[in-house]
């Protein structure tokens, strides 16, 4: 049934001008970018910075290092976190040496596993005497170091000054750090952030490696679909480094060394690879004086980090995965599309919006009309170097996900064959206009939006991308649907419930 | 040599560049920050309809937010109708109105780019609207139509029931869901309203008429507290709200009190076997106290030191930073509004090290009950609470919501004005006293979900850690996810 139209002006013109985000942009002499967005009202400030490095910059053997690194950045500095920086440094070095020797023992064990002589390399019974000796030696060193530690001092200083929401995150393309401080503690933020960039010490490295492995177990290994989705990713990307998980492969997590972390830091955490940003209650002049004083002391990196070289090979044939897991049957269809900012990125994002929500095409067709699914979504994921468009439908109880898959293709064909009606497109664009205001309701959302975009195409795209979305025409949509949504360009994952679980 | 080079780079301070920078952050001097939390009374308005509204103007963005808190809750579900309130909440938004079929209502809201939602939780109902200023009248018309005249369309109700059934089918899939369910059941008992599960039978018994009856019983203006924020002027908004609710008859029946659980928990170790995962999830705890207990602030600080304060807290520090046994580890001491809250400590660790981590958490619970906390631990927690107070009132939306929910929860009017002084007055003796009184190691219910055999075997490198040392171990089988009938429990080991 066709809903009664309500008379409305178009907000498109309004959207193009009013939601401009006016960031004050500075570049320090060492190449570090500093972005300032003062906002009145709240008596506090969100501060953050982003490093242009993520799992895409890794290589086999050190997968997961970007994320492990994010953890290490909270372990303190030469000033923060230890009572005796010299002894602490000496112990770190000695622990690295013991670990290097241990690695030889582990490599021998790995070979015995390869030869089938050993099944569980973690079993204490299969270790050599030397291996046990090294383990004991390492424990003694770790204990000595822990006696010198001022535990979690980095966090304690911030917390006791009223800072909150301290956290960090790693993606395929970037690593971001953020916190909120009371408005009068802006200098504390500069002190702490510049100190950990100028004088970091990656102490407790090997324990933190274990913590990250637990994080992997929690997020990937011990969830109903985590491992399947990880393997689907690995199947989807053939040559692109997006094929390995951000958290890293378990074998690498157990082998990354502190030396490798140091090298990574030297390349990717140099100021010329960083952007800092403040959003909240502060004066920009004071902020820039502090930025020059504190971040200005960071030394420009010896080399500029290089963009990723390996480009995804075009896919020649459809790839399929059928998984039996403890989960609700579901179909997931993924097409190779384009990177963030590509000319086709805007129309593909509009396609996703046309599909989504309770008045979107997937919900109407699959959930309401055909009653074949209970939920359905689409999204265009545009990463720095590559991108994909994904369609998902959760099968209604008793329905086959293969039929959900077919129903999604029908909707894709409609996109390819029929122009989108004007009013439907207008609805989507109205929502994009509103979203441009809503994203400014939260200082935190602004901070992360500014930083994440600055790590890629520059923060200014926050003001220019909406115009590209507004300009998308029905013909653009048909064109991208025909260009990317091809059988040979897709991977399909069907989940079925593993028998033995619920009905 | 490469290794040395990088280590030197990382560990020798570049002294020359550090001019004028204090050696340690403790030497920094800060300008004074004179922050006073806002008074709710300055934003409170009584509406002609009998509703209360907290209104905070903010003209920076052309957006208006309206949140309605409704005095109702899951506890009001009639016998045998578990699941009714969640359906009332969701179907108010999904089922159209008396004059607009769902498809029409949804299209209009979507075209207006309005965000609208509705839900009912344990002891509160809530509906929200966010729209552009220029569409305010049209959006308010839709929103209040939804609030007052929900249509509860049959076909959408049927769909919602199918979705609920599918959610039930997933009940035994994720270890996190199993852990939460079993912990709540063992603490509050299987019949308390927050625990009692929706079943296929209870779901099927719910009719459209049940939804309509529940709605008309609790949804009326004098049962509403509004939090309104954004781009409007108070006077105009008052008039709009009055107009939107004109003629809406208030109910006369008093909303019943929230019941209190009367369940004696049985301490012990409860393990749910879940093959094919390599990590055990653990929740351990017992009941806590209520908000009217003056000790609740001391408990907040005590818990911050024990496990609630992130990296600086003891459980995090030992389980995660020292031993690398978990990614997330910590504790909560929730303060109940109507009935006792819950003390809970928990973590996730690879199967062989679950027992070791349990042992550490138990040690920390014991330690905070026997030794006074250190001055720096206490000051960190106190300063953190004091200094971060302004975060609660950072935006117009947060202000309005804090006022409305404080009103809903009948908080003392000067709660936030006196909060910092009350926190600052706490001493290490207070912390020790409340830790002794409210943490009860002999009452701990420990729920472990994971690969039971590997977890019980423990770590071959540290055989001294065994779960069985901490109490009787009872295995809990997985229930039928649709009837929630548990197979007969296996004998204790």
- On whether residue A11 sits in a domain, the answer given is no
Q: Is residue A470 located within the same domain as residue A365?
A: yes
- On whether residue A406 sits in a domain, the answer given is yes
Q: Which residues of chain B lie closer than 8 angstroms to A397, CB-CB?
A: 162, 165-166, 169
pLDDT of residue B12: 37
Contact B310 A183 (CB under 8 A): no
pLDDT of residue A20: 87
pLDDT of residue B249: 94
Quote the CA–CA distance of A121 and A131 in Å, as a whole number: 12
**For the segment B292-350, what is each residue's pLDDT rounded down to a tens digit?**
999 999 999 999 999 998 888 999 999 998 899 999 999 999 999 999 999 999 999 99
Contact A163 B113 (CB under 8 A): no
Q: Is residue A325 located within the same domain as residue A236?
A: no
CA atoms within 13 A on the CB side of B38: 25
Interface of A with B in 162-181 (CB under 8 A): 162-164, 166, 180
A164, A198, A397 ranked by CB distance to B165: nearest: A397
Q: Which residue has the tokens 């100028």?
A: A198
Is the CB of residue A148 less than 8 Å from the CB of residue A98? Answer: no
Nearest CA distance, B212 vs chain A (angstrom) = 22
Quote the CA–CA distance of B129 and B145 in Å, as a whole number: 12
Q: Which pTM was predicted?
A: 0.92
Nearest CA distance, A439 vs chain B (angstrom) = 10
Contact B324 A214 (CB under 8 A): yes
pLDDT of residue A14: 46
Examine the fold and report which residue of A238, A266, A297 is the final residue of a domain before the chain moves on.
Answer: A297
Q: Is residue A234 located within the same domain as residue A362?
A: no
- Report how many domains make up chain A: 2
Examine the fold and report which residue of A297, A331, A347 is the final residue of a domain before the chain moves on.
Answer: A297
B328, B379, B460 ranked by CB distance to A218: nearest: B328
Buried b (16+ CB within 10 A) or exposed e, B32-65: eeebebeebeebebebebebbbbbbebeebbbbb
Interchain contact B415–A (C-beta under 8 A): no
Q: Which residues of chain A lie closer than 8 angstroms to B132, CB-CB?
A: 11, 433-434, 437
Examine the fold and report which residue of A297, A331, A350 is the final residue of a domain before the chain moves on.
Answer: A297
Q: Which residues of chain A lie closer than 8 angstroms to B384, CB-CB?
A: 159-160, 162, 164
- On whether residue A143 sits in a domain, the answer given is no
Burial class (CB in 10 A: 0-12, 13-18, 19+), B102: buried
Interface of A with B in 427-466 (CB under 8 A): 427, 430-431, 433-435, 437-438, 440-443
B20, B172, B460 ranked by CB distance to A123: nearest: B460
B25, B171, B324 ranked by CB distance to A157: nearest: B25
- On whether residue A159 sits in a domain, the answer given is yes
Chain B CA closest to residue A330: B166
Q: Is residue A373 located within the same domain as residue A283?
A: no
Written as six digits, the tokens of B423 are 């926190």
Averages of pLDDT over each 10 residues, chain B, 493 residues: 34 48 92 90 96 96 97 96 98 98 97 97 98 96 98 98 96 96 96 96 97 97 98 97 96 92 93 94 97 96 93 92 92 96 96 97 98 95 90 93 97 95 97 98 97 95 93 95 86 43
A4, A184, A215 ranked by CB distance to B104: nearest: A4
Nearest CA distance, A343 vs chain B (angstrom) = 26
Q: Which domains are seen in chain B, by residue range?
A: 40-244 (3.30.830.10), 268-475 (3.30.830.10)
Chain B CA closest to residue A183: B33
Quote the CA–CA distance of A23 and A16 in Å, as a whole number: 17
Interface of B with A in 270-329 (CB under 8 A): 276-279, 281, 309-312, 316-317, 320-328
pLDDT of residue A6: 36
Contact B30 A217 (CB under 8 A): no
Q: Which residues of chain B lie closer than 8 angstroms to A151, CB-CB?
A: 317, 321-322
> What are the respective helix, strand and coil percentages of chain A, to the nearest 5?
50, 15, 35
What single-letter DSSP state applies at residue B252? Answer: -
Residues in chain B: 493
The three-point CA angle A337-A341-A347 to 5° equals 60
Q: Is residue A418 located within the same domain as residue A278?
A: no
What single-letter DSSP state applies at residue B37? Answer: P
> What are the respective helix, strand and coil percentages of chain B, to the nearest 5?
45, 15, 35
Transcribe A50-99 into DSSP letters.
Answer: EES--GGG--TTSTTHHHHHHHHTTS-BSSSSBS-HHHHHHHHHHHHHHH
What stretches of A130-271 adopt beta strand conformation (E)?
164-170, 175-182
Number of CB atoms found within 10 A of residue A53's CB? 25
Contact B113 A433 (CB under 8 A): yes
Residue A85's φ and ψ, nearest 5 degrees, are -60, -35
Contact B9 A183 (CB under 8 A): no
Kind and range of the H or E run holding B244: helix B234-244
> Which of A95, A193, A211, A398 to mutate to test binding with chain B, by most B CBs within 10 Å of its CB?
A211
Written as six digits, the tokens of A200 are 């970091």
Transcribe B119-186 into DSSP letters.
Answer: EE-SS-EEEEEEEEGGGHHHHHHHHHHHHH-B---HHHHHHHHHHHHHHHHTTTT-HHHHHHHHHHHH
B33, B62, B174 ranked by CB distance to A224: nearest: B174
Q: Is residue A356 located within the same domain as residue A475?
A: yes
pLDDT of residue A220: 92
Nearest CA distance, B48 vs chain A (angstrom) = 30
- On whether residue A87 sits in a domain, the answer given is no
- On whether residue A395 sits in a domain, the answer given is yes
B172, B311, B316 ranked by CB distance to A502: nearest: B172
* Packing angle of the helix pair A345-355, A401-417 (nearest 10 deg): 130
A6, A44, A124 ranked by CB distance to B460: nearest: A124
Q: Which residues of chain A lie closer than 8 angstroms to B350, CB-CB?
A: 213-214, 217
Written as six digits, the tokens of B215 are 């709605």
pLDDT of residue A7: 35
Q: Is residue A376 located within the same domain as residue A332?
A: yes
pLDDT of residue A406: 98
Quote the CA–CA distance of A85 and A77 in Å, as a whole number: 9
Q: What is the pLDDT along chain A (503 residues), one digit of tens a residue?
A: 333 333 344 444 444 445 689 999 999 999 999 999 999 878 899 999 999 999 999 999 999 999 998 999 999 999 999 999 999 999 999 999 999 999 999 999 999 999 999 999 988 899 999 999 999 999 999 999 989 999 889 999 999 899 998 999 999 999 999 999 999 999 999 999 999 999 999 988 998 989 999 999 999 999 999 999 999 999 999 999 999 999 999 999 999 998 899 889 999 999 999 999 999 999 999 999 999 999 999 999 988 999 999 999 999 999 999 999 999 999 999 999 999 999 999 999 999 999 999 999 999 999 999 999 999 999 999 999 999 999 999 999 999 999 999 999 999 999 999 999 999 999 999 999 999 999 999 999 999 999 999 999 999 999 999 999 999 999 999 999 999 999 999 999 999 999 754 44
Quote the CA–CA distance of A467 and A449 in Å, as a whole number: 17
Partners of A388 in beta bridges: A336, A381
Contact B321 A8 (CB under 8 A): no
Q: Is residue A276 located within the same domain as residue A324?
A: no
Quote the CA–CA distance of A432 and A467 in Å, as a whole number: 10
pLDDT of residue B19: 66
Nearest of B257, B455, B259 to residue B349 by alpha carbon:
B455
Q: Is residue A53 located within the same domain as residue A186?
A: yes
Boundaries of domain holding A226: 24-81+150-297
A85, A146, A221 ranked by CB distance to B278: nearest: A221
Quote the CA–CA distance of A477 and A345 in Å, as a whole number: 11
Q: Which residues of chain B lie closer than 8 angstroms to A423, CB-CB?
A: 111
- On whether residue A53 sits in a domain, the answer given is yes
The strand order across the sheet containing A319-325 reads A319-325, A490-497, A330-336, A387-395, A373-382
Q: Is residue A333 located within the same domain as residue A272?
A: no
- Check which CATH number belongs to the domain holding A192 and give it: 3.30.830.10
B303 Cβ contact list (under 8 Å, min separation 6): B331, B332, B333, B343
Interchain contact A7–B (C-beta under 8 A): no
Q: Which residues of chain B lie closer than 8 angstroms to A330, CB-CB?
A: none
Contact A427 B312 (CB under 8 A): no
Nearest of A96, A141, A26, A209 to residue B321 by alpha carbon:
A209
Can you tell me the ipTM of this complex?
Answer: 0.90
Interchain contact B63–A (C-beta under 8 A): yes
Q: Is residue A486 located within the same domain as residue A338?
A: yes
Contact B166 A358 (CB under 8 A): no
pLDDT of residue B488: 79
Contact B103 A266 (CB under 8 A): no
Give SS3 for A380.
strand
pLDDT of residue B20: 84
Q: How many beta-carbon contacts under 8 Å exist across A and B?
A: 286
pLDDT of residue B33: 84
Partners of B336 in beta bridges: B290
Q: Is residue A361 located within the same domain as residue A446?
A: yes
B324, B379, B384 ranked by CB distance to A211: nearest: B324
């Amino acid at each position: 049934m066709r809903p009664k139209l309500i008379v409305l002006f178009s907000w498109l013109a309004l959207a193009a001008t009013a939601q401009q985000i006016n960031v004050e942009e500075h570049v320090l002499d060492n190449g570090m970018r500093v972005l300032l967005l003062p906002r009145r009202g709240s008596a506090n400030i969100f501060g953050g910075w982003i490093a242009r490095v993520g799992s895409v910059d890794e290589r086999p053997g050190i997968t997961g290092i970007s994320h492990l690194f994010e953890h290490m950045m909270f372990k303190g500095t030469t000033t923060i976190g230890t009572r005796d920086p010299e002894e602490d440094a000496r112990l770190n070095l000695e622990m690295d040496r013991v670990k290097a020797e241990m690695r030889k023992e582990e490599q021998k064990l790995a070979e015995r596993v390869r030869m089938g002589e050993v099944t569980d390399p973690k079993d204490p019974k299969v270790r050599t005497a030397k291996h046990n000796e090294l383990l004991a030696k390492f424990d003694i060193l770790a204990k000595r170091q822990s006696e010198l530690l001022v535990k979690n001092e980095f966090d304690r200083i911030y917390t006791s000054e009223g800072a909150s929401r301290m956290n960090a995150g790693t993606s395929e393309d970037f690593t971001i750090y953020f916190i909120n401080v009371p408005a009068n503690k802006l200098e504390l933020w500069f002190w702490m952030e510049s100190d950990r960039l100028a004088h970091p010490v990656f102490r407790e490295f090997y324990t933190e490696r274990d913590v990250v492995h637990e994080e992997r177990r929690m997020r990937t290994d011990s969830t109903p679909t985590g491992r399947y989705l990880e393997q689907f990713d690995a199947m989807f990307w053939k040559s692109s480094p997006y094929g390995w998980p951000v958290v890293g492969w378990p074998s690498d997590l157990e082998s990354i060394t502190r030396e490798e972390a140091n090298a990574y830091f030297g390349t990717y955490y140099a100021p010329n690879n960083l952007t800092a940003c403040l959003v909240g209650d502060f004066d920009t002049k004071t902020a820039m004086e502090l930025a020059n004083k504190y971040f200005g002391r960071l030394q420009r990196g010896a080399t500029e980090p290089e963009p990723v070289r390996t480009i995804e090979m075009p896919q020649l044939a459809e790839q399929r995965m059928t998984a039996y897991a403890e989960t609700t049957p579901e179909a997931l269809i993924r097409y190779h599309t384009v990177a963030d900012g590509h000319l086709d990125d805007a129309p593909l994002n509009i396609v996703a919006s046309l599909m989504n929500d309770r008045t979107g095409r997937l919900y109407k067709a699959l959930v309401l009309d055909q009653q074949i699914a209970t939920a359905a979504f689409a999204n265009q994921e545009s990463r720095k170097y590559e991108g994909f468009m994904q369609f998902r439908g959760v099968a209604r109880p008793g329905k086959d996900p293969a039929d959900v898959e077919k129903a999604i293709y029908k909707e894709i064909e409609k996109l390819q064959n029929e122009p989108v009606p004007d009013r439907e497109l207008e609805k989507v664009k109205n929502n994009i206009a509103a979203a441009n205001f809503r994203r400014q309701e939260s200082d935190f959302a602004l901070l992360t939006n500014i930083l994440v975009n600055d790590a890629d195409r520059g923060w200014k795209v926050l003001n220019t991308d909406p115009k590209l979305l507004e300009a998308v025409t029905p013909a653009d949509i048909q064109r991208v649907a025909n260009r990317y949504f091809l059988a040979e360009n897709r991977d399909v994952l069907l989940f079925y419930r593993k028998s033995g679980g619920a009905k | 040599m490469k290794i040395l080079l990088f280590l030197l780079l990382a560990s020798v301070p570049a002294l020359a560049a550090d001019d004028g920078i204090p050696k340690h952050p403790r030497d920094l001097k800060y300008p004074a920050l004179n922050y006073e939390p806002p008074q709710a009374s300055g934003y409170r308005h009584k509406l002609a309809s009998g509703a209360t509204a907290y209104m905070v103007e903010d003209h920076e963005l052309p957006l208006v937010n309206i949140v309605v808190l409704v005095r109702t809750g899951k506890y009001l579900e009639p016998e045998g109708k578990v699941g009714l309130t969640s359906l009332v909440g969701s179907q108010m938004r999904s089922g159209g109105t008396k004059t607009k079929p769902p498809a029409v209502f949804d299209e209009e809201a979507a075209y207006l780019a309005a965000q609208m939602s509705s839900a009912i939780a344990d002891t509160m109902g809530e509906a929200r609207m966010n729209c552009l200023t220029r569409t305010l009248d049209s959006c308010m018309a839709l929103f209040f139509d939804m609030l007052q005249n929900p249509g509860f369309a049959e076909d959408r109700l049927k769909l919602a029931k199918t979705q609920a059934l599918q959610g039930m089918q997933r009940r035994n899939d994720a270890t996190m869901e199993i852990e939460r369910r079993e912990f709540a059941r063992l603490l509050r008992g299987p019949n308390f309203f927050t625990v009692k599960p929706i079943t296929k039978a209870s779901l099927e018994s719910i009719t459209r008429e049940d939804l309509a009856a529940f709605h008309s019983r609790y949804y009326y203006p004098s049962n509403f507290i509004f939090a309104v924020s954004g781009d409007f002027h108070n006077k105009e908004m008052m008039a709009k709200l009055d107009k939107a609710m004109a003629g809406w008859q208030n109910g006369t029946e008093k909303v019943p009190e929230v019941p209190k659980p009367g369940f004696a928990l049985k301490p012990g170790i409860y393990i749910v076997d879940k093959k094919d995962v390599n990590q055990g999830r653990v929740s351990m705890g017992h009941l806590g106290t209520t908000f009217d207990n003056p000790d609740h602030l001391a408990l907040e600080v005590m818990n911050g030191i024990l496990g609630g304060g992130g990296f600086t807290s003891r459980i995090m520090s030992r389980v995660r930073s020292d031993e690398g046994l978990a990614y997330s580890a910590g504790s909560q001491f929730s303060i109940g509004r109507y009935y006792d809250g819950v003390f809970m400590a928990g973590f996730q660790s690879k199967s062989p090290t679950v027992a070791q981590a349990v042992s550490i958490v138990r040690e920390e619970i014991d330690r905070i009950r026997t030794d006074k906390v250190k001055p720096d631990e206490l000051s960190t927690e106190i300063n953190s609470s004091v200094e971060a107070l302004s975060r609660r009132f950072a935006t117009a939306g947060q202000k309005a919501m804090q006022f409305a929910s404080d009103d809903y929860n009948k908080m003392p009017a000067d709660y936030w004005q006196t909060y910092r002084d009350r926190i600052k007055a706490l001493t290490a003796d207070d912390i020790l006293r409340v830790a002794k009184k409210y943490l009860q190691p002999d009452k701990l219910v420990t729920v472990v979900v994971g690969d039971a055999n590997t977890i019980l075997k423990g770590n071959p490198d540290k055989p001294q850690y065994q779960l069985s040392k901490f109490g009787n171990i009872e295995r809990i089988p997985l229930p039928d996810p649709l009837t929630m009938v548990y197979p007969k429990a296996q004998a204790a080991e």
